[in-house]
């Protein structure tokens, strides 16, 4: 069954506005909220019992947890109530004032095998995320994609797919448990196996404030059978500081299409959500489960590679939205990309 290619429309990206500290800030005054929110925090993933996933044996325990039955019964990610509000206006990183940049994609060490029934537009570089929410003990799903970096071990997804989101620095969100990534998942098939999370990194603006402006995360994965995710499937590049109107290809596992069991694709041109919002949007009509799926500039169907210029975060009606990828996303990449 081939996925339908949706008409072009738009998703709203997260805003990442960070300036240099002022003289007053250097003298002890608190930094602006935008600087605090754009900072990132990392965490070692845990099993459901609270023990850290800090060995290959623990990573195997995560894989064992995800039986075919649990995967089939996991439901699309929930959005914290605090994050359901429209993000407040923030100082924006305007692409006209910043230098666009890119990290190149990388192909796999060997061409990915088809691995059973697969549609022509399904990519090995995109996959489905499975995790357990520690606040209620339920199993959930999101989407993600492999991201080329010095470690060759990283994927990019939505912040709410790795952390529940909080209401303040005194009441931060909790990190998800039993977190795993299955590249090109299809109706229970795991053609490349499952890759367990080794380290999370998310924006403090999501962890502490549940702000969709900062709803992006990067996850370092454990190698599987000695092989790293990017070397197995290939990995997309990263793009930042581009104009908010971009031609993109979006991948994900929306629960409102094929029950989230098959990879879907949408293509179109993004637009800015609003003058004071700064995120981007595309009219894909993707429902829950598509969160974290990549928005790719310059996607090449033959190589299955492009540059991640956003991720599915939330929506308004049929419009999916993404944070804007500016310098702060590049700083997240620099902080996590070499972690092994």
CATH number at residue 300: 2.40.10.10
Whether 54 is in a domain gets the answer yes
Rounded mean pLDDT of 2-16?
35
Only one residue has tokens 């339920």, namely 138
Q: Are 108 and 236 in contact (CB under 8 A)?
A: no
Distance in angstroms (rounded) separating the CA atoms of residues 299 and 307: 7
Distance in angstroms (rounded) separating the CA atoms of residues 275 and 203: 23
Note down the domain range covering 324: 5-19+34-84+93-109+121-336
- DSSP class of 97: G
- Which runs of E-coded beta strand occur in 4-65? 5-6, 40-43
Lookup: tokens for 4 = 């339908």
Whether 115 is in a domain gets the answer no
* Total domains, the chain: 1
Say whether 82 sits in a helix, a strand or coil. helix
Whether 141 is in a domain gets the answer yes
Whether 135 is in a domain gets the answer yes
**pLDDT at res. 121:** 79
Instruction: Return the closest-CA partner of residue 282 out of 308, 258, 317.
Output: 317
Instruction: Return the closest-CA partner of residue 10 out of 288, 315, 291.
Output: 315
The pTM of the full predicted model, rounded to 2 decimals, is 0.88
Max distance between CA atoms of the chain, in angstroms, equals 62
**pLDDT at res. 276:** 83
Distance in angstroms (rounded) separating the CA atoms of residues 160 and 290: 12
**pLDDT at res. 206:** 96
Instruction: Return the closest-CA partner of residue 283 out of 292, 273, 274.
Output: 273
Q: Is pLDDT at 82 greater than 60 in this prediction?
A: no
Say whether 173 sits in a helix, a strand or coil. coil
Only one residue has tokens 């209620």, namely 136
pLDDT tens for 136-183 read 999 999 999 999 999 999 999 999 999 999 999 999 999 999 999 999
pLDDT tens for 297-307 read 999 999 999 99
Q: For 6, how many CA atoms within 13 A lie in the half-sphere containing its CB?
A: 23
**pLDDT at res. 37:** 85
**pLDDT at res. 93:** 52
**pLDDT at res. 3:** 45
Whether 269 is in a domain gets the answer yes
Lookup: tokens for 339 = 């972690």
Rounded mean pLDDT of 187-202?
97
Whether 77 is in a domain gets the answer yes
Distance in angstroms (rounded) separating the CA atoms of residues 181 and 170: 30
**pLDDT at res. 175:** 98
Residues forming a β-bridge with 273: none
Distance in angstroms (rounded) separating the CA atoms of residues 264 and 252: 6
Distance in angstroms (rounded) separating the CA atoms of residues 62 and 179: 7
User: In terms of C-beta density within 10 A (0-12 exposed, 13-18 middle, 19 or more buried), how is residue 309 classed?
Assistant: buried
Computed over every residue of the chain, the mean pLDDT equals: 87
Whether 25 is in a domain gets the answer no
Q: Are 216 and 11 in contact (CB under 8 A)?
A: no
């Amino acid at each position: 069954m081939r996925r339908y290619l949706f008409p072009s429309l738009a998703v709203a990206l997260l805003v990442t506005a960070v300036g240099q500290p002022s003289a007053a800030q250097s003298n002890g005054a608190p930094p602006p909220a935008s600087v605090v929110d754009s900072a990132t925090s990392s965490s070692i993933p845990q099993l459901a019992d609270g023990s850290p996933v800090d060995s290959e044996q623990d990573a195997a325990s995560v894989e064992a947890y995800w039986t075919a039955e649990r995967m089939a019964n996991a439901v699309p990610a929930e959005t914290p109530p605090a994050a359901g509000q429209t993000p407040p206006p923030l100082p924006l990183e305007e692409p006209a004032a910043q230098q666009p940049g890119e990290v190149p994609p990388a192909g796999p060490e060997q061409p990915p095998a088809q691995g059973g029934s697969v549609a022509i537009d399904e990519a090995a570089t995109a996959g489905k995320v499975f995790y357990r929410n520690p606040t209620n003990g339920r199993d959930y799903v999101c989407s993600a994609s492999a991201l080329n970096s010095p470690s060759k071990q990283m994927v990019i997804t939505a912040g709410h797919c790795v952390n529940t989101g909080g209401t303040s620095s005194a009441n931060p969100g909790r990190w998800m448990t039993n977190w795993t990534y299955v590249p090109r998942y299809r109706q229970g098939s795991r053609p490349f196996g499952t890759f367990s999370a080794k380290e999370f990194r998310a924006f403090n603006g999501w962890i502490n404030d549940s702000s969709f402006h900062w709803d992006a995360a990067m996850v370092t994965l454990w190698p599987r059978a000695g092989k790293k995710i990017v070397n197995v499937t290939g990995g997309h590049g990263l793009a930042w500081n581009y104009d908010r109107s971009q031609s993109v290809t979006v991948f994900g596992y929306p629960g409102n299409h094929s029950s989230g069991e098959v990879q879907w694709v949408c293509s179109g041109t993004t637009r800015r959500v609003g003058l004071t919002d700064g995120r981007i949007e595309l009219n894909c009509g993707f429902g829950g489960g598509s969160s974290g799926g990549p928005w790719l500039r310059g996607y090449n169907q033959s190589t299955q590679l492009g540059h991640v210029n956003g991720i599915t975060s939330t929506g308004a009606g049929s419009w999916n939205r993404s944070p804007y990828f500016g310098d702060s996303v590049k700083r997240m990449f620099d902080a996590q990309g070499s972690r092994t």
